Chains A and B, each alone.
Chain A
Amino acid sequence: MSGAGHLDAELEAAYRARYRHFLRVATAILGDEMSAHDAVQEGFARALREQRSFRGEGPVAAWVWRMVVNEALTSRRRRVSRRETGEVIERADRNGWPSDGYEIRTWVGALPERQRLMVYLRYYADLDYRSIAHVLGIEVGTVSATLNSAHQALRRRLEEVER
């Protein structure tokens, strides 16, 4: 079990070692790197602020991944909310993806949010199923089933194109 002081070092180590992966997942969620950078920093800052509440039920890395993902999702919700009130949001389309014509991007963007999030964590963060389960606070079996559903949906799209 890590103490709060040790968590400082672990968080800093995770930040330095995996910053680019955090940034990539946040960019996938938000659609632009600048906002993603902000989400990553705020996610880690929140982890620092709230480290005393870390219960050690999983790796520290999974806990901070959750912070960053939640920050990115929250940021995107705010953007959507502003857009609904008339403010122009640039480069936000298709669940956060910039719309530039890539089929696979469109397909992934059309997945339900939980499936899409798991795709990001699996392929952009390179997390295994157990780590994803820790990040999202769900069972490993749920991760497997959800990713399987995402794969099936994408496979159907692919088969439609190939026909």
Chain B
Amino acid sequence: MDVEQLITTELERMLPLPSGSQADWSDVVDRAGVGRRPRVARRGRSLRLTPRVLIAVAVALAIAGAAAFAAVVATTASGTQHPGPIVPPSLANGHVTAAGYAGGSVWALTTNGLVISANGAWHEVTPTSLTVTQLGDAYFADASAGWLIAYGHTQPDGAESLLVYRTTDGGASWSKATVDANASLADGHGPSWITFANQMDGWLEVQTVSSSNFSNANLYRTTDGGESWTPLRIPIAGAIAFPTPTNGFVSGGAGGMELYTTHDGGTSWALVSLPGPSGQVYGPVFSSPSDGLVSVTRATGSGTAVAVYQTNDGGTTWTPAGSVVIAHSRGQAATPVAGLGIGWLAAIGPGGAFARSTAGSDQATTFNASGLPHGKLGAVDALEFRAGTQDGLALFQGGACEDIKSTCLEYQALYTTSDAGSTWTQLKP
């Protein structure tokens, strides 16, 4: 008897293809919002797109798609009218979902993998491995030393393992370390973050799956450059920053409004109270072991208030460094902020709307940058500047619809500036 035929017949008889209506796709989309986390920022060294802005763009796209989008008129923060539709930038080589500086170079995670710029050209440096199925976050201490989070199906039952690849030659070669074989990821995982205080002391965080009422994550620490990792506890899931091997921060939580600090490398954590009202926290981002910034965004009766705080003692104390009130709503999204050596730059969105502090004071002025896509359907989602310079990177999350019947497209693009955010040019890894 033909065994395959028997299996086919019997299995079909026992479990026919289900009939009847299927659940709506919108249920899946709703589920995808479960357990999302707030903005990413860590030590001012890299930047990444954040789900809250992704959601905001998706909602805006849905609204735009429902209306006759071809007639949409986009309004920038200053009120300037720009006729639509909005054209996304060229994405010939894929979307950029994370990026940062690697010494004098720039690294980027794209849908093609991990790429690094060198001598004006981009080179893919993705580790080649049969077991790697997904890439997570990356961090480069300089042009040579870097680390990359990856997931691999190394278990017989298909469960994922958490891996870290590390390079000391700019991605030409990689060494693999298994951080977690599978136990902690049995229920899946959310976003991940990796950061280093120096080339030996690093931390890796993976958000675990939970309802949106909770914000849980697994934290791991290495003291040998990423060869071995030890699990630690962390009070919330969110972006991590470690300006020194002992002092660190995590911001986020279920509502995106919490900030915790550690003074023992992540073993114990304490809640931080910033001066002023609470709100969505971005950062902190550090330009040195002592100097850092954090932004707090909250809705007010007259719009959205963005307050920036600075520290010059590694985060022990925080003082107001300026604030702006903007007429539009940022929804539940925090405000990306980056240091400019003296002063700071904040992406108050949408489009290219920014606030910049006046050097040496706590006053801030708003302006519309050139070179970024204008309109409501998009905003800078993350910022990073080279310490003490006017050179920076921005990840832009946007959306565009060709007309009412077209599928709306979300896109992520990388931009660079060399004049403290006044003008931007797209980088195409």
Contact = CB atoms under 8 A, between A and B. Distances in A.
A37 B10 CA distance: 23
Interface stretch (B18-26, B223-231, B360-368): B18-26
Contacts of B8: 123
B11 A108 contact: yes
A144 to B, nearest CB: 13
Interface in A53-105: 53-57, 63, 66, 69-71, 73-74, 77-78, 102, 104-105
Given A74-B188, A104-B14, A1 B112 contact: yes
A45 B28 contact: yes
B95 A52 contact: yes
Contact of B17 (A21, A37, A104, A136): A21
A113 to B, nearest CB: 6
B301 interface: no
A35 interface: no
B310 interface: no
A3 B131 CA distance: 22
B7 interface: yes
B334 to A, nearest CB: 19
Given A3-B91, A137-B131, A28 B15 contact: yes
**Centre residue among A4, A73, A114 by max chain B CB count within 10 A:** A4
Given A55-B113, A55-B134, A55-B135, A73 B94 contact: no
A49 B188 CA distance: 11
Nearest to A7: B111
B201 interface: no
A73 B157 contact: yes
Contacts, number: 153
B159 A70 contact: yes
B121 interface: no
Interface in B345-398: none
Contact of A49 (B3, B32, B95): B32
B91 A151 contact: no
Interface string A120-154: 00011000000000001100000000000001001
Nearest to A147: B4
Interface in B26-46: 27-29, 31-32, 34-36
A131 B130 CA distance: 16
B3 A24 contact: no
Interface in B83-120: 91, 94-95, 97, 109, 111-113
A57 to B, nearest CB: 8
A24 to B, nearest CB: 6
B253 interface: no
A108 B27 CA distance: 33
A113 B157 contact: yes
Nearest to A2: B111
22 contacts: A3-B91, A3-B94, A4-B95, A6-B409, A24-B18, A41-B28, A41-B31, A42-B31, A45-B32, A52-B49, A52-B412, A54-B134, A70-B159, A71-B188, A73-B158, A74-B159, A102-B14, A104-B10, A104-B11, A104-B14, A113-B157, A137-B158
Given A66-B158, A74-B188, 20 more contacts: A3-B94, A15-B25, A23-B22, A27-B18, A33-B18, A44-B32, A45-B28, A45-B32, A49-B36, A52-B95, A52-B109, A54-B111, A55-B132, A56-B111, A63-B133, A73-B158, A104-B6, A123-B8, A137-B133, A151-B3
